[in-house]
Chain A
Amino acid sequence: MSGEAVVFYLLAAVTLGSGAVIVTSGNIVHAAAALVPALLGVTGLYILLNAEFVAGIQVLIYAGAITVLILFAIMLTEGGTGLGGRQRNEQTAVGAAVAAAMAALLIAVAVRTNWAPPAAGATLPSYTPGAIGQSFLGRNILVFEGTSIVLLVSLMGAIMIARRED
């Protein structure tokens, strides 16, 4: 087994294991804490997929900002004690079945489909930040501008919604 595969399986185990903790933990703080390794695992997978810039952004935003955001929310709501009621509602069984079925479906599709093999021997271009930046300001400028508007709006919206009424 090549080194790449070993790393892959390791990263997959970390990601999925943390994911399992997130979704099944009775303690919400534990769940939030488990979010970090999960996201970092995904980062590793990105690196394996030659997407370094995406991996960097993932760390910055996901593992950094979003995790902290979630921790803040937990803190400001009653989940701060980490205790409080049961965490699973009564449709657990059906939900598990649906999730399992969904997974099975997706895996079946993935395994059975004959994905076109990549052009043999083609070397991958380097996905440098510069190239990505060029792409954003070139081909994907519309998406770029649109996303910035969304960012602005959501920023304003979040502030407005979370403001204390007084």
Chain B
Amino acid sequence: MLGLTHYLVVAALLFALGLFAVVTRRNSVTILMGIELMLNAANINLVAFNKYAAPGAMQGQIFALIVITLAACEAAVGLALVLAAYRTLETVYVDEINIMKW
């Protein structure tokens, strides 16, 4: 019998994967991909709660839609930044972008 917990577990695992990508990877585009994974995990949580805990209203889905929209904005701006950085600094690897470090 499928329950809320299943979805929450899947979301948790997906979140953890996204977290691992953000923290561990060197290429900034990959980091953005990890961020997307985390956002998706949050979305799954929202929709799952919507169905199982508060089915009367559709706030969860509304929330999820907004999150998707914002994720798109953020991806656009983020990738623009990556491109601008690449143009100036010649690199996309975050551990090579350290000109402010002594």
Contacts and interface: CB of A to CB of B under 8 A. Distances in A.
Answer yes or no: A and B touching, Cβ < 8 Å: yes
B80 interface: yes
B97 interface: no
Contacts of A57: 65, 68
B50 to A, nearest CB: 7
A2 B6 CA distance: 14
Interface residues of A, number: 85
- Chain B interface mostly: helix
B47 to A, nearest CB: 5
A23 B73 contact: no
Contact of B51 (A5, A51, A98): A51
A83 to B, nearest CB: 11
A54 B65 contact: yes
Nearest to B23: A95
Contact of B23 (A8, A38, A99): A99
B51 A49 contact: yes
Closest 3 CB pairs of A and B: A103-B16, A154-B73, A106-B12
Interface of A: 2, 4-5, 8, 12, 15-16, 19-20, 22-23, 28, 31-32, 35, 38-39, 42, 45-46, 48-51, 53-54, 57-58, 61-62, 65-66, 69-70, 72-74, 76-79, 85-89, 91-92, 95-96, 98-100, 102-103, 106-107, 110-111, 115-116, 118-119, 122, 124-125, 127, 131-132, 135-136, 140, 143, 147, 150-151, 153-155, 157-159, 161-162, 164
